Amino acid sequence: MSTTGLDRRSRRRQQTIDEILDVSVALMETEGVAALSLSAVARQLGMRPPSLYQYFPSKLAIYDALFQRGSAQIRDAQREARARAPQDQELERGMVAFSRWCMDNQVLTQLLFWRTVPGFTPSPEAFAPAEDMVNDLRSYLQQAVDKGRLHQDATSDEGIALFTSLTAGVLSQQMANEPQATYETGRYMKLMPTVLDMFYLHYRPTRGKEK
């Protein structure tokens, strides 16, 4: 989170919050996403657990903040990639940006897309960037419909569910089988263009018109 415009006290508080979140991610990388411990976070920061409660009242509050941070980052990565994409390649570039971010941030990816923490449900505020992503996707699918590249059904709830299931499924296979690979080298990542072709074929403009 940017500290621009905050007074000194607020900047220090935000810096401490960011540090707590960074340490939490590092611990989750080694101990597992669901194994986060407030005492371990405090120990890493040289802080007593009661002091940590001034920033986060519970472990679930840390997960919530991380969910919001991660979903905002992946939303912004896709928006930037689509904004720079050549015409009619926005969906492809957004999918690549999504995949790259997830491979580079596998701990947060598990928190965002897998139910790895029992009892955790993101707050509406934390979930808002994820809703933005769905709205962004629907908007770009609609643009493809308007240009005659897709059938209108592609923008339906079913179409959104299919698109996200296909892309997230490939990503899950990649992370489960070759977590150390990069977007360029992962054998499952190489299937992403094929997955998009399958989506376009399923929602071809002539869908439902063939005899």
CATH number where 23 lies: 1.10.10.60
- pLDDT, residue 160, reads 97
- pLDDT, residue 179, reads 93
62 lies in a domain?
Answer: no
Q: Same structural domain for residues 18 and 83?
A: no
Which of the listed residues 57, 85, 100 is the one where a domain comes to its end?
A: 57
CA–CA distance, 97 with 95 (Å, rounded to integer): 5
**Cβ-Cβ contacts under 8 Å for 108 (sequence gap 6 or more):** 25, 66, 69, 70, 73
| Mean pLDDT score, 33-39 | 93
CA–CA distance, 23 with 29 (Å, rounded to integer): 10
| Mean pLDDT score, 125-139 | 97
Q: Same structural domain for residues 38 and 105?
A: no
User: Residue 26: is its pLDDT beyond 90?
Assistant: yes
- pLDDT, residue 209, reads 74
Q: At what angle do helices 59-83 and 124-146 cross, to 10 degrees?
A: 20
Contact yes or no for 189/174 (Cβ under 8 A): yes
108 lies in a domain?
Answer: yes
Q: Same structural domain for residues 101 and 183?
A: yes
210 lies in a domain?
Answer: no
| Mean pLDDT score, 123-134 | 97
**Cβ-Cβ contacts under 8 Å for 163 (sequence gap 6 or more):** 137, 141, 154, 199
53-to-26, 93, 120 alpha-carbon distances in Å? 19, 41, 18
Q: Same structural domain for residues 52 and 92?
A: no
Q: Same structural domain for residues 1 and 53?
A: yes
Q: Same structural domain for residues 41 and 81?
A: no
Its domain, for residue 98, covers 68-202
52 lies in a domain?
Answer: yes
User: Residue 167: is its pLDDT beyond 60?
Assistant: yes
Number of compact structural domains in the chain: 2
102 lies in a domain?
Answer: yes
202-to-18, 90, 151, 162 alpha-carbon distances in Å? 43, 19, 9, 10
Q: Same structural domain for residues 11 and 95?
A: no
- pLDDT, residue 21, reads 97
